[in-house]
């Protein structure tokens, strides 16, 4: 069956041909009726010559498919930025890299943003005014 991402069968990309199912060999089908040895050999040689181009086209289709998947995933993410004076919570793994247990809180704070280095990097202080290291 052709893959939805590449629009090609795996055997076609690997070997340059579509395989025939063993059940189809014993049955009368269009493929077995019109089989011609000379024409088959000629088409196999032509398929092998074009195999690299088909693989490259499948690779490009797959890259486009992955880009669409990333865009779909990223569409659900809301970007947030904080300004000086905002109160934020900090993930507890920033201060304790080793998780203490599943019943421990995931967030700590609130902290006040006192400086913005770039979006996502902030200098924080406690409500009392103590500076937080490694923020």
pLDDT tens, position by position, 39-78: 777 777 777 777 788 888 888 888 998 999 999 988 888 8
Confidence of residue 1 (pLDDT cuts 50, 70, 90): low
65 and 17 both lie in a single domain: yes
Q: What is the mean pLDDT of residues 94-116?
A: 82
pLDDT at 99: 67
- C-alpha–C-alpha distance, residues 89 and 129, integer Å: 15
87 and 135 both lie in a single domain: yes
CATH assignment of the domain containing 92: 2.30.30.140
pLDDT at 114: 93
96 within domain boundaries: yes
- Indicate left, alpha or beta for 95 from its phi (over 0: left) and psi (-120 to 50: alpha): alpha
92 and 123 both lie in a single domain: yes
- C-alpha–C-alpha distance, residues 65 and 4, integer Å: 9
> What are the residue ranges of helices labelled H in 1-135?
10-15, 22-26, 30-33, 37-74
pLDDT at 71: 92
What's the pTM?
Answer: 0.45
């Amino acid at each position: 069956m052709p893959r939805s991402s590449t629009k090609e069968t795996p055997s076609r990309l690997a070997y340059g041909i579509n395989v025939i199912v063993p059940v189809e060999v014993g049955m009368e089908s269009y493929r077995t009726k019109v089989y011609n040895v000379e024409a088959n050999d000629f088409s196999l040689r032509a398929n092998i010559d074009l195999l690299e181009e088909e693989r490259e086209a499948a690779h490009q289709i797959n890259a486009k498919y992955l880009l669409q998947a990333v865009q779909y995933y990223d569409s659900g993410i809301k970007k947030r930025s904080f300004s000086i004076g905002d109160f934020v919570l900090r993930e507890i793994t920033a201060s304790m890299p080793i998780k203490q247990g599943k019943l421990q809180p995931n967030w700590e704070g609130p902290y006040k943003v006192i400086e913005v280095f770039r979006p996502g990097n902030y200098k924080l202080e406690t409500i009392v005014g103590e500076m937080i290291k490694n923020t």
